[in-house]
């Protein structure tokens, strides 16, 4: 007959299990919805500092829609400016409105694309699309910011970075464990006609996947949580991108990478 495990061994197993799921109190980094008085004051101050802005700030105090384009004018015409000058104007705006853009250091602000157009009445516009924010080498997904200039003045800003993001010093779930947890998972695709078909993830599919460490913002009505995740990109025939929290081991987002 098999002998029962010694009590001390059971206790050690229990301790290891507890350690495995231990989550620091400051994880995930969370930004909470502002109270109405604070938000009203921030929007008023933002409009005063930036009188030609057609956008404002959202419930968390970051640059977003919520503006009133009917109540602002168009900056006066001026001579065309160079890309270098326009870039400097954007960075000055980001620095002057640091709370609303969430950019702690404009030296880190780089751009994915820059373009210019001429609009009604000869108004000259510049359009800047930033790169995603990075904390060291870890990318914060969906953190691109769009800046729009009219006649040398920033007139709209959508999106934000986050001034503070905590990265746990130790992860509860390794890259290998995150990948293994997806073996046998079933994912869904939909045709243009709305017909669903499913694909079951196999071990061979996972062997072909690529994995990166990312920070994934999860927004709800009252807060934004910044979760550190393993981003697992599974190629054909699965065609899925799945984010797994490094601390909880749970899937925080999953999405197809093709349109059927």
**Percent of the chain whose predicted confidence (pLDDT) is above 90:** 80
E-strand stretches of 119-209: 124-130, 134-135, 138-140, 146-150, 153-158, 186-190, 196-200
- The answer on pLDDT for 3 being more than 60 is no
Q: Residue 137 has what pLDDT? A: 95
Euclidean distance between CA atoms 249 and 246, whole angstroms: 6
Calculate mean pLDDT across residues 63-67: 88
Q: Which of 163, 85, 165, 170 is nearest to 124 (CA)?
A: 85
CA distances from 85 to 89, 90, 126, 151, 218 (A): 6, 9, 11, 12, 35
Q: What is the pLDDT of residue 79?
A: 87
Higher pLDDT, 256 or 20: 256
pLDDT in tens, 8-31: 443 444 444 445 579 999 999 999
pLDDT for 12: 40
pLDDT value of residue 69: 66
Q: What is the per-residue pLDDT for 70?
A: 65
């Amino acid at each position: 007959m098999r002998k029962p495990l010694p009590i001390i061994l059971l206790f050690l197993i229990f301790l290891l299990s507890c350690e495995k799921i231990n989550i620091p109190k400051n994880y995930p980094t969370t930004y909470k919805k502002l109270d109405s008085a604070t938000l009203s004051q921030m929007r008023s101050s933002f409009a005063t500092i930036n009188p030609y802005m057609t956008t404002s700030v959202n419930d968390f105090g970051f640059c977003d829609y919520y503006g009133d384009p009917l109540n602002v004018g168009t900056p006066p015409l001026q001579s065309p400016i160079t890309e270098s000058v326009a870039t400097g104007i954007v960075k000055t705006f980001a620095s002057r409105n640091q709370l609303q853009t969430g950019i702690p250091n404009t030296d880190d602000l780089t751009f994915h694309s820059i373009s210019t157009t001429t609009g009604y009445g000869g108004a000259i516009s510049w359009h800047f699309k930033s790169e995603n924010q990075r904390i060291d080498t870890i990318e914060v997904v969906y953190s691109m910011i769009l800046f729009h200039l009219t006649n040398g003045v920033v007139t709209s800003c959508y999106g934000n970075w986050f001034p503070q993001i905590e990265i746990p010093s130790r992860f509860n779930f390794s890259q290998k464990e995150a990948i293994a947890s997806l073996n046998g998972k079933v994912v869904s695709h939909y045709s243009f006609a709305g017909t669903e078909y499913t694909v079951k993830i196999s071990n061979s599919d996972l062997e072909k996947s690529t994995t990166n460490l990312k920070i994934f913002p999860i927004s709800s009505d009252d807060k934004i949580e910044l979760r550190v995740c393993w981003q697992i990109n599974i190629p054909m025939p699965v065609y899925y991108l799945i984010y797994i929290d490094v601390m909880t081991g749970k899937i925080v987002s999953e999405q197809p990478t093709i349109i059927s």
